[in-house]
Amino acid sequence: MYTHKELQRIANELRIDIIKAISRAKSGHPGGSLSAIDIIVYLFFNEIKRTKENALDPDRDRFVLSKGHGVPALYSVFARLGLITNEELMNLRVLGSRTQGHPSYTDLPFVESSTGSLGQGLSVAIGIALAGKLDKKDYRVYCMIGDGEMQEGQIWEALLSAPKFNLDNLCVILDYNKSQIDGYVKDVMNLEPIKEKLIAFNWNVLEIDGHNFAEIEKAINQSKTIKQKPSFIIAHTVKGKGVSFMEDKVDWHGKAPNEKETELALQELKKLLDING
């Protein structure tokens, strides 16, 4: 198990990789990748504990990135774990590469599902969790969704479905960074009150700071103790976390930094490494 300090350093190092990959591609989604990376790091390093050896194990814990545009964060974790090479990470969005702009199961078999058409990944995760119950498997399924994505009708159909089947092996995590490509979520289609809605849908609901590893760990552990209903973690995050001029800026949802912006972002992230040790 990694300490919270070790996880924070890994996450900040991977923020650097995310910026480099998106900058090199001249295309991509930095805001939501930087907001999601802390949670994805915790899951893969301390919970799922993915390795080359267990990547396709039928008893493995699963992770579905429903907000597929945040895949630079996932690829950066894959590269650190040795599932893909650093060269592949830096080939983000290159035609013909395995690291496409959204997760592709056909290119990377340890991606649990191809995602990118928003709203669909949660349904896939529910199917995997239900299959685990039917097959009497002990694996858990983690699914990260976006807040703009949560405006999709299919998400709400899925939210009705999981409690019906008592899927206590499913944990959904909302990367609640409050903005989407068209603006702030509250202005486009307000989700609030999210917690009360989810409780009414019969979910076990937890609310955390999505950049605090102690809170992430506590919520994940609590989700594993709940029986007969799925868990939903509302993770409050900051879009563009770690880069001051990207933080909480809608503009950084889906554009790559230019050369000067990349240099400034990398300088800030390297300072974070120095500060945090």
* Mean model confidence pLDDT for the chain: 97
What single-letter amino acid sits at 136?
K
Token pair 């480099």 is found at: 20
- Kindly report, residue by residue over 11-53, the tens digit of the pLDDT: 999 999 999 999 999 999 999 999 999 999 999 999 999 999 9
Please state the CATH superfamily assignment of the domain spanning residues 4-276 in this structure: Thiamin diphosphate (ThDP)-binding fold, Pyr/PP domains (3.40.50.970)
The residues spanned by each domain of the chain are 4-276
Whole-angstrom distance, CA of residue 27 vs CA of residue 152: 25
Q: What sign results for the dihedral spanned by CA atoms 112, 85, 39, 117?
A: negative
What is 146-196 written as a DSSP string?
ETTGGGSHHHHHHHHHHHHTT-TTEEEEEEE-SEETTEEHHHHH---SHHH
Average pLDDT over residues 190-219: 98
Give me the pLDDT at residue 277, please. Answer: 60
Whole-angstrom distance, CA of residue 60 vs CA of residue 140: 8
Give me the pLDDT at residue 274, please. Answer: 78
Give the DSSP H or E segment for 264.
helix 259-276
250 in Cβ contact with 185 (< 8 Å): no
Give me the pLDDT at residue 273, please. Answer: 87
Whole-angstrom distance, CA of residue 14 vs CA of residue 177: 19
- Kindly report, residue by residue over 93-136, the tens digit of the pLDDT: 999 999 999 999 999 999 999 999 999 999 999 999 999 999 99
145 in Cβ contact with 175 (< 8 Å): yes
> Per-residue pLDDT for 276 more than 90?
no
Q: How far is CA 256 from the centre of its chain?
A: 19
Provide φ and ψ at 149, rounded to 5°. Answer: -60, -30
- Kindly report, residue by residue over 152-169, the tens digit of the pLDDT: 999 999 999 999 999 999
> Per-residue pLDDT for 275 more than 90?
no
